[in-house]
Every structure is written in structure tokens, then in C-alpha cells.
């Protein structure tokens, strides 16, 4: 192994790194790399007429709004956002359903997971009201919030102790991990183009999405809006409907 390879978990406090957006109690979204601007949308569309813009003018901004409104989606695909994300596994399961994009995830077969588990803030401990498909979520009484957090912390501690015990006794990581809850944190890289990202944002930065993934989607949306502000504004004007 090359000497410049570091343990990404312990080399730095990644939540404090510039450009990293902390999410939940241990997670983050970080834009690891990006090839994206509004001009690429315009020029992908203008090549139909063998034309190209050097700078984004008023006409070009109008063209982006037109493409968004009329759902001419392919010009929004000539870009890439590479996110580095740290999330609880239950959030990752929802995220991984978005097939138009590339994922690579930390392997719990090859390395030991850290004892980092998601415990919701008291105000995020909620009860569901209503029917399936139309739930609303209300906060619970402070005493129940405290009990929920303590119950989760106790299970996490016991589960992680069992995990370490099995590893110590020689059980393979891929088997020992079976005792760990889905609130444990994982990390992954996700590379996605703006069209697919907007589809993700329309579904996951929405009131109908689970609160935890919504917080991550909001962080992704902030980074998207900084890199492609005209496209993002057109997305908002189009009632967050992906082209
Ligand atoms: C609020 C909410 C609740 C959910 N609940 C559940 C649930 O209870 N159970 C469950 O299993 N999932 C659930 N999902 C996941 C959901 O069904 C989708 O799998 C997920 O949102 C990914 O959406 P997508 O297919 O549009 O995204 P992507 O997979 O990124 O696809 C993007 C677009 O590409 C096109 N596309 C991709 N693959 C195909 C294909 N094979 N055929 C045709 N077109 C394709 C579609 O136009 C699609 O919209 C839920 C999602 C949300 C947001």
C-alpha cells in the first residue's frame, strides 16, 4: 500500500473541513469534485443548430428556463457532481434506490465499522399521525423523546460490544456485522448529473420524504445551486419538477 494512503476516518475532522456540510449528529455531505456549469446546458442544446455561446447571456438563461419547462432533459446531463457522503445505513438504503448515478460504499466486509450511530435530536423524535401515504409527524413529549434516545443508545452500545467480541473471537467481519443496527454510519461516493440530481431533489428534499434523508438532500441542493444557479432557479420556477 502506498504511504500517502491515509485512514480517511481519522485523518481529519471531516465535518469541520471547508466546503463540508454537517448533517445529523455524525454525518456530512462534501462535494469531492465537480464538472458543472449553466453554460454546458446551453451549449448542449445549441449544438442542434451548430451554435455555441462563450458566456451566459440573457438569451441563454431564457433557453435554460425553456428547456426545463418543456422537459428537454438531456442538455442537463453534460455535467457531474461527485459527492462524498456519511450517512446512517437506513438513509443509504433510501439513497441507493436512485439508479441513475454511480455509487461506491465503505465495505464492512473489509474493514471494521466505527461505533458511530445516529441518535435523533429530541425534537426529531416524532410520532406519526394519519393514514399510510399521508402521514404527518408530530413531536413527542420530552419524556418520551428522552426515553427513545436512551433506549437507542443502550442498544447501540450492546450491539457494538457484541460486534467487537465476535471479531476478537475470530469471526469474519462480514458475519460479525450482522449484529449491528441500521443506524450505524457508513460512507459512500455518489457521482450524478444534474438531471438525475434534480429527480433526487424533487423526491427527497420534499415534505413527503423521511426527515433524515431530506436533510442530506437539502445539503446536496445547496451545493448544486452554488454550481448551477440558473438551472437551479429554473428548477424551482418549474415547481421542482425534474426535466
Ligand atoms: C417518499 C418516498 C417513499 C418511497 N417508498 C418506497 C417504498 O415503500 N418501497 C419502495 O420499494 N420504494 C420506495 N421509494 C423509492 C422509489 O420507489 C424510487 O425507487 C426512488 O425514489 C428512486 O426514484 P427514481 O426511480 O425516479 O430514481 P432513479 O432510479 O435515479 O431513476 C431516475 C429516472 O430514470 C428513469 N428510470 C430509471 N430506471 C428505470 C427503469 N428501470 N425503467 C424505466 N425508467 C427508469 C425514470 O424516469 C426515473 O424517474 C420511495 C421513495 C420516496 C421518495
* Residue minimizing CA distance to atom 22 of ligand 1: 98
Helices 211-227, 229-237: inter-axial angle, 10-degree rounding? 130
- Provide the 8-state DSSP code for 123: G
Q: Mutate which of 99, 202, 206, 217 to test ligand 1's pocket (most atoms within 8 Å of Cβ)?
A: 99
Q: pLDDT tens for residues 140-153?
A: 999 999 999 999 99
Query: Ligand 1: which residue has its CA nearest to atom 25?
Result: 98
Pocket of ligand 1 (CB under 6 A): 97-100, 196, 199, 203-204, 208-209
Which residues fall within 8 angstroms of residue 156, CB to CB, at 6 or more apart? 115, 117, 119, 181, 183, 184
Count H helices and E strands in the chain, helices first: 9, 7
Render pLDDT for 95-118 as a digit per residue (tens, 0 to 9): 999 999 999 999 999 999 999 999
**Residue 101: strand, helix, or coil:** coil
Give the global pTM: 0.95
Q: Is 204 a catalytic residue?
A: yes
- Spatial contact of 217 and 204, defined as CB atoms under 8 Å apart: yes
Instruction: Report how far ligand 1's centroid is from the alpha carbon of 94 (Å).
Output: 10
d(Cα 85, Cα 160) in Å, to the nearest integer?
22
Taking the centre of ligand 1 as the mean of its atom positions, its distance from the CA of residue 240, in whole angstroms, is: 16
> How high is the pLDDT of residue 1?
43
- Main-chain phi, psi angles of 88, to 5 degrees: -65, 150
Please tell me the residue having the least CA distance from ligand 1 atom 49.
Answer: 199
pLDDT < 70 positions in the chain: 1-12
Q: What's the confidence (pLDDT) of residue 18? A: 84
For ligand 1, the distance from its centroid to the CA atom of residue 142, given in whole angstroms, is: 36
pLDDT of residue 2: 46
> Distance, CA 101 to ligand 1 centroid (Å)?
12
Distances (CA, A) of 118 to 22, 23, 55: 13, 11, 45
- In which region does residue 87 sit, left (phi positive, over 0), alpha (psi from -120 to 50) or beta (all else)? beta
Minimum CA distance residue for ligand 1 atom 18: 97
Amino acid at each position: 500500500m502506498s504511504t500517502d494512503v491515509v485512514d480517511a476516518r481519522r485523518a481529519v475532522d471531516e465535518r469541520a473541513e471547508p466546503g463540508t456540510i454537517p448533517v445529523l449528529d455524525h454525518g456530512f455531505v462534501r462535494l469531492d469534485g465537480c464538472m458543472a456549469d449553466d453554460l454546458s446546458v446551453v451549449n448542449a442544446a445549441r449544438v442542434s443548430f451548430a451554435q455555441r455561446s462563450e458566456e451566459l447571456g440573457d438569451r441563454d438563461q431564457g433557453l435554460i428556463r425553456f428547456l426545463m419547462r418543456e422537459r428537454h432533459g438531456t442538455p442537463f446531463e453534460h455535467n457531474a457532481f461527485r459527492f462524498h457522503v456519511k450517512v446512517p445505513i437506513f438513509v443509504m438504503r433510501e439513497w441507493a434506490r436512485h439508479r441513475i448515478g454511480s455509487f461506491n460504499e465503505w465495505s464492512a466486509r473489509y474493514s471494521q465499522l466505527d461505533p458511530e450511530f445516529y441518535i435523533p435530536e429530541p425534537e426529531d423524535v416524532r410520532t406519526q399521525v394519519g393514514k399510510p401515504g399521508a402521514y404527518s409527524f408530530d413531536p413527542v413529549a420530552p419524556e418520551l423523546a428522552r426515553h427513545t434516545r436512551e433506549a437507542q443508545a443502550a442498544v447501540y452500545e450492546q450491539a457494538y460490544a457484541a460486534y467487537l467480541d465476535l471479531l476478537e473471537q475470530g469471526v469474519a467481519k462480514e458475519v460479525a456485522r450482522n449484529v449491528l443496527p441500521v443506524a450505524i454510519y457508513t460512507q459512500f461516493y455518489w457521482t450524478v448529473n444534474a438531471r438525475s440530481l434534480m429527480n433526487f431533489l424533487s423526491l427527497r428534499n420534499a415534505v413527503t420524504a423521511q426527515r433524515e434523508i431530506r436533510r442530506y438532500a437539502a445539503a446536496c441542493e445547496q451545493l448544486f445551486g452554488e454550481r448551477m444557479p440558473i438551472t437551479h432557479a429554473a428548477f424551482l420556477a418549474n415547481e421542482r419538477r425534474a426535466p
